[in-house]
C-alpha cells in the first residue's frame, strides 16, 4: 500500500515538473502540436481541423500567418456574340469599317456576320444596302440573306422592290430568294402575286422556288392551283419544289397529281424528282409503284431516276434488286448505270458482278461500264483486270471501253490498246474513233502512229490518213 501511494506521488510530481518545464508528458501530443505550429494543413491530413496557437509576442515570424500563394485566376472567355449584341449602330459601323482590308478568314467572316446581324436589328435597310455592296464585291452571301430577311419581316414589298433594282445579279437573286422565302412563310398568296413585278429570268425563278416551298407546306390545294397557272420555266421551278416537299409527306398523292399535268415536260421533270426522293426513303414501295405506271416513257423516267439515286446510295442493294425478277424488263436500260456507279466505289466487286450475268448482252453492257469507270480511277488496276478476262468477247468489250476512256488523256497509249482487240470490226471502229479525235489535237502524232503501226491493215491506214 505504501509502495502504491509512493508511486502515485512520484508520477504526480513528475507531471507537474514536466508541465512547468514546457515538456509534454505524451510524445504523440507533442508531434501534433509541433505540426500545427509549422503547417496547420498537416492536422487536416490527419482528419482534424487545424486550430492555430496564439503566437508568442516576442517572435516576429508569428505576428501574422503566412500567406499561401494562389495561382492567378484566368479571365472567363469572352463571348463576341454577347458583346456585339450590346453595340450601338455607330459602334457596329465603326467595327465593320475597321475590318476593311483584313485578310479573310473563318474568324473574320464570323465576326462580320455577327456585326451585320446586329445592324439588321437596328437598321435592316442600311444593313441590306451594306451587305448587297459586300456581295457584289465578293463578300459572303450570308450577310445579305441575314439583312434582307430582317427587312422582309417588316416591309416585304419594299424590300422586294429594292432587291429587284440591284445592279449585281448575284446580290439581286440572293436578296430576292431570302425576301420571298421570308414573305411566303407568312403570306404565300401575297408573295406569289408580287413575282411578276420582278425582272424576267433568274429573279422570277428564284422567287417562285422560294414561294412554292412554303406554299405547299401551308396550303397544298392553293399551291397546286397556283403552280398549274404558271407557264414555262416558272412552272417547272414551282413543280420541282412542290414535288420535292410534298413527296416527303405523301408520295402517292404527289404521283397522282403529276400524272394529271397536261405538259409532257412537266410530267417528266416531276416524275424524275419524285423517283429520286421516294427511293431514297422507301426503295421497295417506290419500285412497286413504278410497275403500275402505264405510260412507258414516264415509267422509264421514273425507273432510271430511281435507280440512279438508289445505286449512288447503296450500289450493292441496287445490283441485288436489278438481279431480281421484277427488274428483268428494265435490266437492259439500267445495268450500265448501276455497274458504273458501283465501280466508282468498288471496281473489283462490280467487275465480278458484271461477269456473272448469263445474258451476254447484259454482261457486255456491265463490263463496258465497269471498264470505263475503272479506267478513270485506276488505269493500272483496270489494265490488270482486263488481262485476266478469259472470254474473248468480254475482253474485247473491256479493252474497247478502256481505250476510249484512255484516249481522253493519253491517245498514243489508247491507240496501242485498241490494236489488241481481237474482233476486226470492233478493233477498226475503236481505232478510227481514237485516231479521229487525236487528229484534232495533235495531227502529226496521230499520222505518225498510223504510218508506223504494224497492227493496222492497209485499207484502214488509207482511211485514217485521208
pLDDT in tens, 320-338: 998 888 888 888 999 999 9
Residue pair 207/233 in contact by the 8 Å Cβ criterion? no
**Residue 373 maps to a domain:** no
pLDDT at 218: 79
Find, among 235, 234, 256, the residue nearest to 246 by Cα. Answer: 256
Q: How many domains does the chain have?
A: 1
Separation of alpha carbons 415 and 404, rounded Å? 9
204, pLDDT greater than 90: yes
Find, among 190, 191, 175, the residue nearest to 124 by Cα. Answer: 175
209, pLDDT greater than 60: yes
Instruction: Match 439581286 to its residue by C-alpha cell.
Output: 172
Find, among 214, 89, 152, the residue nearest to 163 by Cα. Answer: 152
Between residues 43 and 431, which one has the greater pLDDT? 431
Handedness of CA 86, 90, 92, 98 (dihedral sign): negative
- What would the grid cell of residue 401 be? 471501253
Give percent above pLDDT 90 in the chain: 65
45, pLDDT greater than 70: no
* DSSP result, 400-446: HHHHHHHTTT-HHHHHHHHTT-SSHHHHHHHHHHHHHHHHHH-HHHH
Half-sphere exposure of residue 332: CA atoms within 13 angstroms, side-chain side? 4
77, pLDDT greater than 80: no
**Is residue 447 classed as helix, strand or coil in its secondary structure?**
helix
**Residue 322 maps to a domain:** no
**Residue 135 maps to a domain:** yes
Mean pLDDT of 434-443: 93
For the chain, the first-to-last Cα distance in angstroms comes to: 146
Q: How confident is the model at residue 455 (pLDDT cuts 50, 70, 90)?
A: confident
**Residue 353 maps to a domain:** no
Mean pLDDT for the chain overall: 85
In degrees and rounded to multiples of 5, residue 437 shows phi and psi of -70, -35
**Residue 77 maps to a domain:** no
Half-sphere exposure of residue 39: CA atoms within 13 angstroms, side-chain side? 6
pLDDT at 143: 96
pLDDT at 300: 87
**Residue 168 maps to a domain:** yes
369, pLDDT greater than 60: yes
**Residue 177 maps to a domain:** yes
Separation of alpha carbons 374 and 382, rounded Å? 6
pLDDT at 268: 87
pLDDT at 228: 87
Mean pLDDT of 206-235: 90
For 41, residues 6+ apart whose C-beta sits below 8 A from its C-beta are 50
pLDDT at 446: 93
**What range does the domain containing 207 cover?**
117-218
For 427, residues 6+ apart whose C-beta sits below 8 A from its C-beta are 396, 418, 419, 421
pLDDT at 73: 55
pLDDT at 36: 37
Exposed, middle or buried, 29 (CB in 10 Å: 0-12/13-18/19+)? exposed
Half-sphere exposure of residue 336: CA atoms within 13 angstroms, side-chain side? 12
367, 372, 374, 379: CA torsion to nearest 10: 120
Distance, C-alpha 400 to centroid of its chain? 36
The least confident of 70-84, 111-125, 340-354 is 70-84
**Residue 195 maps to a domain:** yes
Amino acid at each position: 500500500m505504501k509502495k502504491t501511494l509512493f508511486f502515485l506521488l512520484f508520477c504526480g510530481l513528475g507531471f507537474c515538473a514536466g508541465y512547468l518545464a514546457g515538456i509534454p508528458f505524451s510524445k504523440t501530443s507533442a508531434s501534433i502540436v509541433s505540426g500545427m505550429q509549422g503547417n496547420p494543413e498537416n492536422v487536416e491530413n490527419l482528419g482534424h481541423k487545424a486550430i492555430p496557437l496564439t503566437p508568442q509576442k516576442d517572435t516576429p515570424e508569428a505576428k501574422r500567418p503566412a500567406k499561401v500563394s494562389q495561382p492567378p485566376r484566368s479571365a472567363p472567355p469572352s463571348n463576341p456574340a454577347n458583346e456585339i449584341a450590346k453595340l450601338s449602330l455607330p459602334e457596329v459601323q465603326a467595327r465593320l469599317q475597321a475590318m476593311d482590308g483584313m485578310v479573310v478568314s473563318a474568324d473574320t467572316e464570323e465576326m462580320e456576320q455577327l456585326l451585320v446581324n446586329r445592324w439588321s436589328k437596328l437598321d435592316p435597310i442600311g444593313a441590306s444596302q451594306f451587305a448587297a455592296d459586300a456581295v457584289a464585291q465578293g463578300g459572303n452571301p450570308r450577310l445579305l440573306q441575314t439583312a434582307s430577311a430582317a427587312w422582309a419581316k417588316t416591309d416585304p414589298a419594299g424590300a422586294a422592290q429594292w432587291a429587284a433594282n440591284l445592279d449585281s445579279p448575284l446580290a439581286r437573286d440572293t436578296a430576292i430568294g431570302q425576301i420571298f422565302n421570308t414573305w411566303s412563310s407568312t403570306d404565300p398568296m401575297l408573295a406569289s402575286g408580287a413575282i411578276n413585278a420582278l425582272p424576267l429570268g433568274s429573279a422570277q425563278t428564284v422567287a417562285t422556288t422560294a414561294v412554292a416551298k412554303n406554299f405547299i407546306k401551308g396550303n397544298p390545294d392553293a399551291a397546286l392551283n397556283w403552280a398549274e397557272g404558271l407557264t414555262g420555266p416558272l412552272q417547272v421551278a414551282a413543280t420541282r419544289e412542290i414535288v420535292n416537299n410534298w413527296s416527303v409527306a405523301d408520295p402517292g398523292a404527289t404521283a397522282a397529281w403529276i400524272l394529271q399535268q397536261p405538259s409532257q415536260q412537266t410530267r417528266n421533270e416531276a416524275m424524275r424528282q419524285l423517283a429520286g426522293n421516294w427511293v431514297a426513303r422507301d426503295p421497295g414501295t417506290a419500285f412497286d409503284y413504278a410497275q403500275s405506271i402505264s405510260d412507258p416513257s414516264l415509267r422509264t423516267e421514273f425507273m432510271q431516276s430511281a435507280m440512279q439515286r438508289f445505286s449512288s446510295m447503296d450500289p450493292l442493294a441496287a445490283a441485288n434488286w436489278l438481279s431480281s425478277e421484277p427488274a428483268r424488263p428494265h435490266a437492259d436500260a439500267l445495268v450500265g448505270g448501276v455497274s458504273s456507279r458501283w465501280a466508282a466505289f468498288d471496281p473489283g466487286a462490280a467487275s465480278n458482278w458484271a461477269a456473272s450475268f448469263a445474258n451476254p448482252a447484259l454482261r457486255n453492257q456491265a463490263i463496258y461500264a465497269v471498264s470505263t469507270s475503272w479506267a478513270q480511277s485506276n488505269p493500272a488496276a483496270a489494265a490488270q483486270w482486263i488481262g485476266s478476262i478469259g472470254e474473248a468477247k468480254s475482253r474485247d468489250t473491256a479493252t474497247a471501253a478502256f481505250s476510249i476512256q484512255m484516249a481522253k488523256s493519253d491517245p498514243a497509249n489508247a491507240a496501242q490498246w485498241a490494236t489488241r482487240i481481237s474482233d476486226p470490226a470492233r478493233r477498226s471502229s475503236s481505232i478510227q474513233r481514237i485516231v479521229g479525235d487525236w487528229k484534232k489535237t495533235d495531227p502529226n502524232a496521230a499520222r505518225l502512229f498510223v504510218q508506223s503501226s504494224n497492227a493496222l491493215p492497209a485499207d484502214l491506214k488509207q482511211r485514217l490518213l485521208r
